[in-house]
Amino acid sequence: MNTRIDVSLTVNGERVARQIEARQHLIDFLRLELGLMGSHTGCEHGVCGTCTVRLDGRIVRGCLVLAASLDGAKVETIEGLSETGEIRDLQDAFIARNACQCGYCTPGMLLAAAELLREKPRPKREEIRDYLSGNYCRCTGYQAIVDAIAATAAARERASQG
Amino acid sequence: MNEIVNPGAGDRPNSYIGKSVPRPNAAKLVEGRGQFVDDLVLPRLVHVAFIRSPYAHAKIGRIDAAAALTIPGVVRVFTGADLARHCTPWVAVLAHLKGMKSAPQLPLPLERATWAGEAVAAVVADSRAVAEDASAKVVIEFEPLPAAVEMETALADGTPVIHPVLGDNLCFQRLNETGKVDEAFAAAHRVVEATFVSGRHTGATLEPRSIVADYNRASGQLTVYHSTQAPHMMQGVFAQQLGLAEADVRVICGDVGGSYGIKVHVYPDEVAVAVIAKILARPVKFIADRLESFLSDIHARDHRIKARMAVDATGHITAIDIDDLTGIGPYSVYPRTSAVEGNQVVNLVGGPYDFANFRARTTVVFQNKAPTCQYRAVGHPIATAVTEGLVDLAAEALGLDVVEFRRRNLMRDGSYPRTSPAGMRFEALSHEQSLDTLIAMMDYGGLRAEQARLRAHGIYRGIGFATFIELTNPSPFMYGLGGARISAQDGCWVRIDPDGSVVAATGVTEQGQGTEAIMRQIVAEAVGVPIERVRVISGDTLTTPYGGGTWACRGAGIGGEAALQAGIAVREAALKVAGAMLQVPPGALDLVNGEIVDRDSGQARLPLAELCRIVYFRGDTLPPDVPRELMQTRHFISKHYPFAFTNGVQASWLEVDVDTGMVKLLKHWCVEDCGRIINPLLVDEQIRGGVVQGIGGALYEHCIYSPEGQLLTGSMADYLVPMAAEMPDIEVGHVETPTQESLLGAKGAGEAGTAGAPGAVMNAINDALQPFSAKLFAQPFTPARILAALGKAPPG
């Protein structure tokens, strides 16, 4: 159980090299080894979505990926996306619409929302709800989150036309 | 009305009360910069993994930790006896709930485990992973015992008595009776009845229960970082059980990842963490995993209610009679007790209606399942579903429209103050205006026409209503009266710093509902500064005034009034100094937007920062007798009513697929009256989140146990919660009837959504199924149960 594997990867644009315990999940690696506490653990079996992070450009469940398998990979978390400003408009929309209450699901929710808007820049409300159906939020009842994402999509479309 | 602050008037540059101001602490949360307990890492931190009973009821035999202790990184293994030497037991009863009983509880049990999932040993190691590895090496000799699982048979002969010292499995029983119930039923024009079931469910907070306790033997101080709603209460509990002075215990509560009542209780495993920290004199962390959460977080709402209603020929309710049975697990939960939910049911049934004869009994029994206790809207969803289910049955029996029947029976808006048949005192409610507002919002006539048109095409849609009352702003009548050290008062201090910025510290706490946001609005308006100049502190027993924390919808009404009064006091203090500096009576001045101005002309006289510079650095230039107290503390408690009741009404519009039993929620409406609204944006989102939590219990959430007492729904794949795709858009409307108890006039809003939603959904399903004469009264209303009611599947 204590086998360690040498892994070198890029996290939020920074190169990191670690000896990683073979059984350690990506979410635990990010939190315990790198101190990136923005992504959270919720259910630890891939249902709740709060550990959602980006791996090689696509979102994954941080609790379903073994960190030792990520040699050469590129990982991005809420800290990285905040730093680059990539989702600033989405974050501002979440604040303005009160789309986060306790904030525990929010980083995962934002990463999922960012992916949706990349895949489908102008989603319908039902499409937003469907896309978020793997991200559990106990506080908001989801409507404010759907509103914030829809508002961001509309603002981006206006910006691209203007 | 206070002469210098008229909350909600919105007539000043810094009038914030009543405005949709975004939350100041949302910015860090959207960047992943919150500080949750599991984010905390301290030097020499060790981690606990608990070994939990695999049996619903078992004798704990020999515990052999020898093999576990050989694993590198393992620090200690603790048994119940190890911890009992450092901790006194507690018993969760309230003196004003007459006859209530429960058994003493310790951090870990000494002789018997009484539910599957009860922690019986603790393994401490330098990582959680190693602690779990070592847990697998600990041998515990359990001797399984017969279990009392079902609440229906908990009091029957032959059922094992869980705590022989108590004599039986009865925790509490209460009969609440007014008028001549039997005569009213005998004389009734119609009697309707049904047996309602509320499924046992739980909070499923996304952040699990989390605690880090750190004991410094040299200074004698225990510091606990805790995901909790009530830091001061927990300070008292840790002090009392561990034999420390309250002044030597500090509870710090950073960001909390959801609570909803789940995190306001004393959990034995969390007390164990504090005891272990005291023994080891180093920081100890415990974060529940998801399975542990389902097994050991409090459950709630496990009720069966036999109910009937009598009506006369004019369509008026004459009597309600209910018999409630609830199973609460093997212990009443400290310190709120597990009898309060049943007590609320007998207090709240029939609450919105004008009738005279009332009988309600609750029977609270012990059983070998996870303990239950207060969860968002405690008892309200049950009482509302029972009442509103009976109301729809009565309307149907009389051939009346369900809205018309409610109009005939609701308490009249002008008829307050008054007392309900259950003994609840109402200062002022607005049932009629709320219902009128709701009917207009939803286009009731249009929906009925659409329902009829679609029925002809084999599409079955239903409309369901639920009128409700909600208990908020509790006085000591709720807990303190019964001997619990739970504070109904709360406090706030407000301080102006040298640059004219303002710090406020409140005893109520933040779990995402926006406590710090509304305190900032209130303080900015009360002091007279721009809102950006105010920072709010909460969740630290060392720095905030003593308070009860956040529960029973008291944050805005109780904590908010303390903040308002402290802010006003600081403004008055600043104006006294200004008067001395400007040689005018303080009453001729005002503080607006961070500037001392002439009250009448509004002309700027002195920046607040300049006043503060003089007070803090050149006090020698002020006349010696001028008070310069730019920090003020105020406390508030409800004095005239035991509770500030709110009211509201919800409606659900849904479609039932009669071939699959699936329910599709199309739309939901809620109109509620929480008195003065401090921040409409936040109130609306409290309502929406609460509605969805209520829908969860109505349609999906269920802690299912096997006959042996094994939890069968211990993961988020098995325990269904509302997700985005299934939830409807929710329209929210308001009526504002401020309470006269306080200047602020605010009542609570956090539980209204949850209180009404299940009843509205139930009535909508039954309305949709009206052509089939199928009716459901047992939550959750799963597809299997709907098909069974339609005769298309076996009952199950």
| Predicted ipTM of the assembly | 0.98
Q: List CB contacts of A86: < 8 A, sequence separation 6 or more.
A: A114
Judged by CB atoms closer than 8 Å, whether chains meet at B727 and A101 is answered as no
* B39 in Cβ contact with B225 (< 8 Å): no
Q: Give residue-wise pLDDT tens across range B532-569.
A: 999 999 999 999 999 999 998 999 999 999 999 999 99
pLDDT, averaged across chain B: 97
Given a cut of 80, whether residue B687 has pLDDT beyond it is yes
In this structure, are A102 and A154 located in the same domain? yes
Judged by CB atoms closer than 8 Å, whether chains meet at A107 and B32 is answered as yes
C-alpha dihedral (B125, B127, B133, B138), degrees to nearest 10? 20
pLDDT at B6: 67
Provide the token pair at B746. 């605010």
Best residue in B20, B21, B23, B31 for a mutation probing chain A (most A CBs within 10 Å): B31
In this structure, are A49 and A96 located in the same domain? no
In this structure, are A68 and A97 located in the same domain? no
Residues linked to residue B250 through DSSP beta bridges, in sequence order = B223
Banded model confidence at residue B795, pLDDT cuts 50, 70, 90: confident
Identity of the residue numbered B559: G
In this structure, are A97 and A59 located in the same domain? no
Given a cut of 90, whether residue B141 has pLDDT beyond it is yes
Provide the token pair at B186. 């005998």
CA nearest A84 in B: which residue?
B31
Mean pLDDT of B583-588: 97
Judged by CB atoms closer than 8 Å, whether chains meet at A40 and B511 is answered as no
Mean pLDDT of B404-429: 98
CA distance A8 to chain B (A): 23
The secondary structure of B671-693 as a DSSP string is EEE-BS-S-HHHHHHHHHHHHHH
Q: Which residue from B79, B207, B108, B202 is spatially nearest to B711, judged by alpha carbons?
A: B202
Judged by CB atoms closer than 8 Å, whether chains meet at A95 and B27 is answered as yes
Q: Give residue-wise pLDDT tens across range B691-743.
A: 999 999 999 999 999 999 999 999 999 999 999 999 999 999 999 999 999 99
Helices B560-582, B608-617: axis angle to 10 degrees equals 80
Q: What's the Cα-to-Cα distance from B777 to each of B306, B393, B672, B701, B789, rounded to whole Å? A: 11, 11, 25, 15, 10
Query: What's this model's pTM, rounded to 2 decimal places?
Result: 0.97
CA nearest A129 in B: which residue?
B725
Q: Which of B203, B260, B681 sits opposite A98 (nearest CB)?
A: B681
**Domain's final residue, options A81, A97, A118:** A81
Name the percent of chain B in helix, strand, coil, to the closest 5.
30, 25, 45
pLDDT at A162: 74
The CATH number of residue A19's host domain is 3.10.20.30
Q: Which residue from B558, B697, B571 is spatially nearest to B202, judged by alpha carbons?
A: B697
In this structure, are A114 and A58 located in the same domain? no
Tell me whether A111 touches chain B (CB under 8 Å). Answer: no
Given a cut of 70, whether residue B8 has pLDDT beyond it is no
Total of domains in chain A? 2
* B750 in Cβ contact with B169 (< 8 Å): no
Mean pLDDT of B81-85: 98
Q: Which of B27, B33, B716 sits opposite A48 (nearest CB)?
A: B716
Given a cut of 90, whether residue B237 has pLDDT beyond it is yes
Residues linked to residue B213 through DSSP beta bridges, in sequence order = B224, B284
In this structure, are A64 and A14 located in the same domain? yes
CATH architecture of B378-471+642-789: 2-Layer Sandwich (3.30)
In this structure, are A156 and A104 located in the same domain? yes
Backbone angles phi, psi at B135, to 5 degrees: -55, -35
Residues of chain A contacting residue B258, judged by C-beta atoms under 8 Å apart = 101-102, 104, 138-139
Q: Which of B256, B692, B730 sits opposite A102 (nearest CB)?
A: B256
* B317 in Cβ contact with B310 (< 8 Å): yes
Given a cut of 80, whether residue B527 has pLDDT beyond it is yes
In this structure, are A91 and A70 located in the same domain? no
Residues of chain A contacting residue B34, judged by C-beta atoms under 8 Å apart = 103-104
Q: Which of A23, A40, A98 sits opposite B685 (nearest CB)?
A: A98
Banded model confidence at residue B5, pLDDT cuts 50, 70, 90: low
Q: Which residue from B259, B254, B30 is spatially nearest to A38, judged by alpha carbons?
A: B30
**Domain's final residue, options A57, A81, A105:** A81
In this structure, are A35 and A71 located in the same domain? yes
**Domain's final residue, options A41, A57, A81:** A81
Q: Give residue-wise pLDDT tens across range B476-514.
A: 999 999 999 999 999 999 999 999 999 999 999 999 999
Given a cut of 90, whether residue B440 has pLDDT beyond it is yes
Banded model confidence at residue B232, pLDDT cuts 50, 70, 90: very high
In this structure, are A71 and A99 located in the same domain? no
Mean pLDDT of A36-53: 97
CA gap B451, B467 in Å, rounded: 22
* B348 in Cβ contact with B438 (< 8 Å): no
Banded model confidence at residue B10, pLDDT cuts 50, 70, 90: low
Tell me whether A62 touches chain B (CB under 8 Å). Answer: no
Q: Which residue from B143, B545, B481 is spatially nearest to B335, judged by alpha carbons?
A: B481
pLDDT at B506: 98
pLDDT at B556: 95
Judged by CB atoms closer than 8 Å, whether chains meet at A95 and B30 is answered as yes
The CATH number of residue A97's host domain is 1.10.150.120
Tell me whether A121 touches chain B (CB under 8 Å). Answer: no
Q: Give residue-wise pLDDT tens across range B334-385.
A: 999 999 999 999 999 999 999 999 999 999 999 999 999 999 999 999 999 9
In this structure, are A102 and A44 located in the same domain? no
Tell me whether A63 touches chain B (CB under 8 Å). Answer: no
* B57 in Cβ contact with B145 (< 8 Å): yes
Taking only residues 19 to 58 of chain A, the set having a beta carbon closer than 8 angstroms to any beta carbon of chain B reads 21, 23-24, 31-32, 35-45, 47-48, 50
Name the percent of chain A in helix, strand, coil, to the closest 5.
45, 20, 40
C-alpha dihedral (B704, B709, B715, B720), degrees to nearest 10? 10
pLDDT at B773: 85
Fold for B26-32+489-636, please state it.
Answer: Aldehyde Oxidoreductase; domain 4 (3.30.365)
Mean pLDDT of B621-641: 97
In this structure, are A95 and A77 located in the same domain? no
Mean pLDDT of B734-763: 97
Q: List CB contacts of B151: < 8 A, sequence separation 6 or more.
A: B302, B304, B325, B326, B327, B365, B367
Mean pLDDT of B676-689: 97
Judged by CB atoms closer than 8 Å, whether chains meet at A101 and B38 is answered as no
Fold for B37-145+205-296, please state it.
Answer: Aldehyde Oxidoreductase; domain 3 (3.90.1170)
Q: Fold identical between B26-32+489-636 and B37-145+205-296?
A: no
Backbone angles phi, psi at B691, to 5 degrees: -60, -45
Give me the residue spans of the domains in chain B. Answer: 26-32+489-636, 37-145+205-296, 378-471+642-789
- Which residue range(s) make up the domain with A119? 87-161
| A66-70, B12-16, B294-298, B777-781: range with lowest mean pLDDT | B12-16
A92 sits in which H/E element: helix A88-96
